[in-house]
A and B are shown apart, each in its own frame.
Chain A
Amino acid sequence: MQTGSDRNEIEFWNVSKRFQLQEGRTLREFLPALLRGRGWGGAFYALREVTFTVGHGETIGIIGSNGTGKSTILKLIAGVMAPNEGEVRVASRVSPLIELGAGFHPDLTGRENIHLNASILGVSGKEIRERFDDIVNFAELREFIDTPVKRYSSGMYMRLGFSVAIHSNPGILLVDEVLSVGDAPFQEKCLDKMHQFQEQGVTIVVVSHSMDLVKKFCRRVLLMEEGRLTADGDPEEVVQLYLEKVSPSVEIASSSQ
């Protein structure tokens, strides 16, 4: 029997992530650098010694300006990247709602893409067949399900991607700005679904620039600044702190005109 929040779902221990800045990737550029015994271009730290844990069933928000490492954190949780230093531990199936429909094949129909995308997210064929109708109904694509997805509008594309992801029975849901796209009724529906997940004990990590959404939806917020975790706590307080840090520069900018 799982007893809930005493179990950690995500753990980051002193995690650092480095990227090479070098853009060129041909042997011609690499071999001379190697011969001179040098590294391959400069390094840039996207994350520096970040430590936090997320309990089972918690909903946390991550805020911060662009390029401060928010998306890198999501990629480390999703397991598509490895940290250079430190350790990342994740305890259950992660379903990323990052750029929905990433795995869609434009020439395949909605039906074919549901099967493909769900199996990429780790759903078995049997589970997919059981949930197929729910996925189609949630996406409101019943009449277009046998149309190639390249004929879909961007809204339809996104609805299908969202629907597949939320029906993949995730233990951890990663949400990156996706709620800002789509029309109002569908956004409403997505938020309802996310509240439902919260009640079911799904752990949710939200990255957003919408302070209202973060305050409304999260019980805890992390603030990222230049790859470092600088605040971790109550949404109201952390959002306030962030706005104070951002707004002086805005005032300076406007007064210098």
Chain B
Amino acid sequence: MSQAQAAKRYPLMRPGFRVADVGPSLATFWQQRELLWNMTVRHLRGQYKQSILGYSWAIVNPLSQMLILSFVFSLILRIPSQDVPYPLFVLVGLLPWIFFSSALASATDSVANAASLVTKVYFPREILPTAAVFTKLVDLAFGMMILVALMVYFGHPPEWTAVWLPVLFLIHIIFTLGLAFPLAALNLFFHDVRYLVGVALLLWFYVTPVIYPESLVPERYQIVFDLNPNAVFVSAYRRVLLQGTGPGWDSVLLGLAVALITFVAGYYLFKKMESGFADRI
């Protein structure tokens, strides 16, 4: 067995990550999926330990938001909801949004929170933000089950076009990871990042058509929504689940392109900064 072969199997932290390294690095990452799985399970098991309601909290949060938003925006402000009961309308947008925002917030802190590991053992660090994002997928899955139950209850069972949901979720996850990587890395260098993320998510919520339909947006502001991947995704979720039309392929393909570019760029930035993590923590 030659030394070069062995050295390849046990990569060390090296500065000077290049764009050409993204492919091989993602392959290494894929080989570590067992660790990713274990990390995700660890997050999940730890998340609701010592709480009486346990995993039910994953449902309490979106349901309570759905109730208050329905009260304010449907009963008081009477926002139209595309011929479906407002609670369903808002929940379809709310669940992916909660996934996106909680995943991003948790991923931003993921590397900093694993300081004791990061300074001691080598493993691909992208596992930490990825596990943080995957953990929130479980909350999303619970939420979707409640959503389907509510849809049946309100007499609006999901349309058959809902089969596109996994594809849409996949694109949304890729986009989320693309933002999670650089934010997790930058948070180690500048502690401002976590606060910045909090503010940005708050603002982003209002320019994403979660509580109102996109049709209410005046023509001249439409560009804001065309450029906002979350707006594209939320609209697509509504179309396939509530309206029974296709997801709007033009905008979804654009969303996919944006998601892939974000992912590669974000991953590259993360790996570029990775060799400095242990110095900075």
Contact = CB atoms under 8 A, between A and B. Distances in A.
Task: Tell whether A and B belong to one assembly.
Answer: yes
Contact of B13 (A19, A82, A92, A121): A82
Contacts of B117: 102-103, 120
A147 interface: no
A112 B42 contact: yes
A112 B38 CA distance: 9
Contacts of A92: 6, 9-10
B278 to A, nearest CB: 4
B15 interface: yes
A54 B120 CA distance: 20
B46 A108 contact: yes
Given A75-B119, A112-B42, A82 B275 contact: yes
Nearest to B5: A91
A103 B275 CA distance: 20
A36 interface: no
B46 A82 contact: no
B12 interface: yes
B279 interface: yes
Interface in A1-44: 2, 7-8, 19-20, 25-27, 30
A90 B42 CA distance: 30
A120 B121 contact: yes
Contact of B190 (A27, A125, A148): A27
Interface string B253-276: 000000000000000000000011
Interface string B27-62: 000000011001100100110011000000000000
Nearest to A103: B117
B15 A94 contact: no
A107 B49 contact: yes
A119 B131 CA distance: 14
A42 B3 CA distance: 38
B7 A116 contact: no
A172 B171 CA distance: 41
A174 to B, nearest CB: 9
Please indicate which of the listed interface residues B35, B42, B119, B123 has the most CB atoms of chain A within 10 Å of its own CB.
Answer: B42
B10 A25 contact: no
A177 interface: no
Nearest to B188: A25
Nearest to B11: A79
Nearest to B35: A119
A7 B3 contact: yes
Interface in A51-99: 75-76, 78-82, 88-94, 96, 98-99
A231 B110 CA distance: 41
Please indicate which of the listed interface residues A78, A90, A91, A94 has the most CB atoms of chain B within 10 Å of its own CB.
Answer: A91
B250 interface: no
B204 interface: no
Interface string A173-197: 0000000000000000000000000
B1 interface: yes
B22 interface: no
A116 B46 CA distance: 12
B192 interface: yes
B18 interface: no
Contacts of A2: 1
A25 B38 contact: no
A25 B191 CA distance: 6
Contact of B42 (A81, A93, A108, A121): A108
A107 B45 contact: yes
B116 interface: yes
A40 to B, nearest CB: 10
A255 to B, nearest CB: 41
A105 interface: yes
Contact of B38 (A20, A78, A116, A148): A116
Contacts of A79: 10-13, 122
A80 B190 contact: no
A240 interface: no
Contact of B118 (A80, A82, A108): A80
A96 B7 contact: no
Contacts of B15: 82
Contacts of A215: none
Nearest to B39: A116
Please indicate which of the listed interface residues A20, A75, A96, A115 has the most CB atoms of chain B within 10 Å of its own CB.
Answer: A75
Contacts of B1: 2
Nearest 8 A/B pairs, CB to CB: A79-B122, A79-B12, A82-B275, A91-B6, A107-B49, A82-B13, A102-B116, A80-B278
22 contacts: A2-B1, A25-B280, A26-B191, A27-B190, A75-B119, A75-B278, A78-B120, A80-B118, A80-B121, A89-B3, A91-B6, A92-B9, A99-B116, A107-B45, A107-B49, A116-B38, A116-B42, A119-B34, A119-B35, A120-B38, A121-B121, A122-B123
Given A30-B190, A91-B6, A103-B120, 11 more contacts: A20-B279, A26-B190, A80-B119, A80-B277, A81-B278, A88-B12, A90-B7, A92-B6, A102-B116, A108-B42, A120-B38
